[in-house]
Structure 1
Amino acid sequence: MTAKTTGHKPIVRLHDGYRYEDGITHIGQLLERYSSLRRMEIGKSVLGKSIDALVVGDGAECVHVNASVHANEWITTPLLLRFIEQLAASYEQPVSVVKDHSDSGLAGKQLSDALSGVTLWTVPMVNPDGMNLSQDGIWPDCPFRDQLIKWNSGKEEFSRWKANIRGVDLNDQFPAGWEEERVRRGIADPASQDYGGENPLCEPEAAALARLTRRIGFSRVASLHTQGREIYWNYRNLEPACSEGLAQRLAKVSGYKAVKLTGSDAGYKDWFISEFRRPGYTIEAGEGVNPLPIQQFEQIYSEIAPLLAEFIRG
C-alpha cells in the first residue's frame, strides 16, 4: 500500500527478522486501522504465548490459512499478515486500487471480490516459541535450556530449528498416518525437526489448530511453509476431485508447481483431507535454504499474494 492510494504507510514490514512480538504488535496495529478485522485467541503455546486467529469477511463459507508451523519458516508470518493487511484495505475500500510497496499488482476490487460469500480465518503464528528460538537462540531464563542444547546436537545456534520449544515437529503431530510417519522418520526423541511427539496432538499448538478446524469446519485450508515454490494438494487419494484443479490454478497465478506428493503423513494438510475429505494444501513459498533471507520477502510476496487471493476465491 502507498500513501497515494490509501493515505497510510504499510504496517507489516520487516527489518531484522520477525519475532512473535513483531507479529503481536502488527496484529494490534491492523486491528486499530481496519474495523473489518477480528481477533480471537485459540490457545497458548508451551510457554504461554497467545496463539491468535485473525478473521476478515462475513460470508457463510469459511476458509483457513496458517503460517509459522515450523520455527525457522517464520517469514511466512509477515507474508500472511501483509496479505491480510492488503485484503482488509481492499475490503473496506473496494473501489480503490490497493497496492503495497511489494507491488503485488492486485486491485482492491479484485481482492474484495475474493471475499464475496467467504470468511477468511488465519492463524499467522502457530509456533510462536519456536519462531523466537530459531532467531535469537536460548534466552537466560529459558526453562528448557539444557534440554534444548541436547536436542540441538549440542549446538547453541538454532537457525535450522523447525520444532516447537519441546522439540516436537508440529507438522508431524496430526492424526493422519501418525504412526507410519514416526517409523519413517526414525526419530524417537525430541529434536530440531521430524519428531512427532509422544502422541498425536500432544502439543498445545497443534491441538489448538485442530480444535479451531473442527469447530469452524472450513471448506478448504492452506498451510504456508518454505521453501521450494511448490503446492502439495493430495493425501492418499482421499482428497476430493476438485483439489487438483484448484492446485493448478494456484500454480498458474503464482508460478509455483503443483505436486502430487507421496510418502508423507501426519501433517496438517494430510489430517484435514483425511478427516474432512475437503481440499487441503501445503504451500512451500520461496526458494533456497531455510530460513529464507528477508531480502527475498518482496519477491516471495508478489508470488504468494495472487495465490492466496485465488485460494480464497476457490
Structure 2
Amino acid sequence: MIKYNVKQGDTVRKIAVRFQVSTEQLLSRNNMSLETYLEPGTTILVPKTEQTNHPLRETQTGCVYEYGWRELEEDRKSLPSSIYSEQIGTSVLGKPIWLFRAGSGPKKILFSAAWHGNEWLNTWLLMSFLHMFISKEESKEHWYDVNPETILQEVTLYVVPLVNPDGVELVQEGAAVLDKEKKDEVMKINGGMNDFRHWSANARGVDLNHQWPAGWKEEAAGSPDCPFPRHYGGEAPLTEPEAKAVYQLSMQEEFSHVLALHSQGEEVYWGYSGLEPPESAELGRRLAAAGSFRPVEDAGSSAGYKDWFIKTFRRPGFTIETGVGMNPLPPEASARIWVTGVPLLLESLTFTNFTK
C-alpha cells in the first residue's frame, strides 16, 4: 500500500490513472465515492502496483479523467508548431484564457467550449479534435470526407476551448482550491453546499452565456437577480473578463460563422429572433444530420453568445449541445461525444464564407 499526499488538481480518476489502479479499488480502500473532492495536503491509500508513476495521457478509449485548465496547459505544450496559441484574456481568478489558431485561409471560423463550469468535456473534445485534424493534415489523410490540407488553405480555425476555467476547476475540485475569502463567497452563492457539480457560472456567480447584449434585459427579468450557480446574467452585459475576452476576439476577427459548444441534449440551435441569414436553417440541418442531432430554430432564451453574434453580424451562429445525461457528463460519455461531435465539427468547416 502506498501513502499518497494529495496535490492541487488531483481527482480520484487522475490518481487511479497515474498509479494504474481501478477507481473502484481506490474508492473502496479510502471509503470514498467518485463525487468526493480531494483536499490538497490530505493523505490517501493507493494499492501498490508494478507501475506507480504512469503518465497522465489520453487513450483510445477517449477521455479517462477530468480535463481542466491544468490539462489544457500541458496539452498546449505538446501542440505542433503549425498551431498558434495566444492568451486572449484572464479569468476572475487569474487563469489564462487561451486561443488556438490553425490554417491560413480567408474564411475565419470560431469554435468555443466550456462556457459553463460543468460542461468541461467539450474542452477535451475540441483539443482532441485539433490534435487529430493537424495530424491528418500533416500525413495528407482525409478525415471522413474532408481533406484537412485543403481545408486549412481555405479556413483559419480559431478555437477557444475553455472559456470558463474557474468554473470548471470549481466543478472538478471543489472549493478547497480557493483562498478563504473566495471560498466563503462561493459557498454563500452555493447555499452553503460543498457540492459544485451543478455549478455553471464563473467564480463570481455569473453565467457567461447570459452575459451578452442580445435580449439581455428580457432574459435577466426571468433569471436570478444576484450571483447564483447558474443563469444569473450579471449586473449588466459583458461585465465579466471571460466574456469580454471572447467579445474582443469576435469584434476583431469578424468570423464567418461560430459554434459555441454546450453539453446537453444532442441538439443544434441555429436561429435568433429571425435575425439569422436565410441559409442558417439549412446549415443547422446539415450540422444536425452530420452528428445525428436534432435541429432546433430557437432555444427560447436570449443573451447567449450565439444570439449576440447573429444579432451583431447577421451571420450564422450555432449553439451545439453535445451529449446526453446529467451535467457534468462523466469521462465515459466522451466516446459518444467524439463519434457524434467530430463529423459535425468537420461539416462546419465546409460552409461557405459569409464575410464575402
The TM-score, its normalising length taken from structure 2, stands at 0.79
CA contact (8 A) 1:90 1:109 kept: no
Q: Deviations over 1:73-98 (max 9, x none)?
A: 0001000111111111122222x35x
**What is aligned with 1:62?**
108
In structure 1, C-alpha distance between the alignment counterparts of 2:273 and 2:299, rounded to whole Å: 8
**Which AA in structure 1 matches 2:210?**
D
User: Which of 40, 59, 72 is matched with 1:23 structurally?
Assistant: 72
Q: In the alignment, residue 57 of structure 1 is paired with which amino acid?
A: G
For residues 152-167 of structure 1, what are the structure 2 equivalents within 5 Å? 152-167=190-205
Distance in 2 (CA, whole Å) between partners of 1:149 and 1:10 is 33
Cα deviations by residue, 1:265-306 (Å, 9 ceiling, x for unpaired): 100000000000000000000111101111110121111001
Q: CA deviation at 1:107?
A: 4.4
Report the Cα distance in structure 2 between the residues aligned to 1:93 and 1:75, rounded to whole angstroms: 27
Aligned to 1:206, what secondary structure does the other structure show? helix
Structure 2 partner of 1:45: 91
Q: Distance in 1 between matches of 2:184 and 2:257?
A: 40
Partner amino acid, structure 1, of 2:219: E
Match in the other structure for 1:71: 117
Q: How does 1:1-314 map to 2 (within 5 A)?
A: 14-30=63-79, 34-94=80-140, 96=141, 106-107=143-144, 110-139=147-176, 141-142=178-179, 143-185=181-223, 187-314=224-351
In the TM superposition, residue 260 of structure 1 has moved relative to its aligned partner by: 1.1
Superposition deviation, residue 116 in structure 1: 3.8
Match of 1:101 in 2: none
Q: Output the CA distance in 1 between the equivalents of 2:324 and 2:151.
A: 27
> For structure 1, which segment, 19-28 or 136-145, has the greater mean C-alpha deviation from structure 2 after superposition?
136-145
In 2, are the aligned partners of 1:115 and 1:312 still within 8 Å (CA)?
no
Structure with max Cα Rg: 2
Q: Which moved more, 1:257-266 or 1:277-286?
A: 257-266
Q: Residues 291 and 141 from structure 1, CA distance in 2 versus in 1: closer, same or farther, beyond 3 angstroms?
A: closer
Q: Please say if residues 238 and 277 of structure 1, whose CA atoms lie closer than 8 Å, have aligned partners that are also in contact.
A: yes
Instruction: Please tell me the residue identity of whatever aligns with 2:78.
Output: Q
Q: Distance in 1 between matches of 2:338 and 2:299?
A: 28
Amino acid across the alignment from 1:209: V
Distance 1:114 1:160 in 2: 38
Give the 3 Å change call, closer, same or farther, for CA 61–109 of structure 1 in structure 2.
closer
> In structure 2, do the counterparts of structure 1 residues 250 and 136 end up closer, same or farther at CA, with 3 Å as the change threshold?
same
Deviation at 1:150, TM superposition (A): 1.3
> How well do the aligned residues superpose, as a CA RMSD in angstroms?
1.7
CA distance in 1: counterparts of 2:285 and 2:146, whole angstroms: 23
Distance in 2, matches of 1:24 and 1:241, equals 40
5+ residue gaps, structure 1: 1-8, 98-105
Counterpart amino acid of residue 46 in structure 1: V
| Equivalent residue letter for 1:147 | E
Deviation at 1:35, TM superposition (A): 2.3
Shift in Å at residue 16 of structure 1? Answer: 2.2
Gaps of at least 5 residues in structure 2 are 1-56, 352-356
Q: How much does 1:262 deviate?
A: 4.8
SS at match of 2:166: helix
Give the 3 Å change call, closer, same or farther, for CA 307–262 of structure 1 in structure 2. Answer: closer
- Structure 1 residues 108 and 277: CA distance shift in structure 2, 3 A: closer
Preserved CA contact (<8 Å) 2:268 2:293: yes
SS in 2 for 1:59: coil
1:68–1:224 contact (8 Å) kept in structure 2: yes
Q: How much has 1:135 moved relative to structure 2?
A: 1.0
Cα distance between partner residues in 2 of 1:190 and 1:299: 34
Q: For residue 103 of structure 1, what is the aligned residue in structure 2?
A: none
Of structures 1 and 2, the one scoring higher in RCO (CA 8 A, sep 6+) is 1
Q: How far is the alpha carbon of 1:140 from its aligned partner?
A: 5.2
Structure 1 residue 261, shift from structure 2 partner: 1.3
| Pairwise CA distance, 1:253 | 1.1
Cα distance, 1:295–1:141 mapped onto 2, change above 3 Å: closer
* Cα distance change on mapping 1:141 and 1:117 into 2, 3 Å: closer
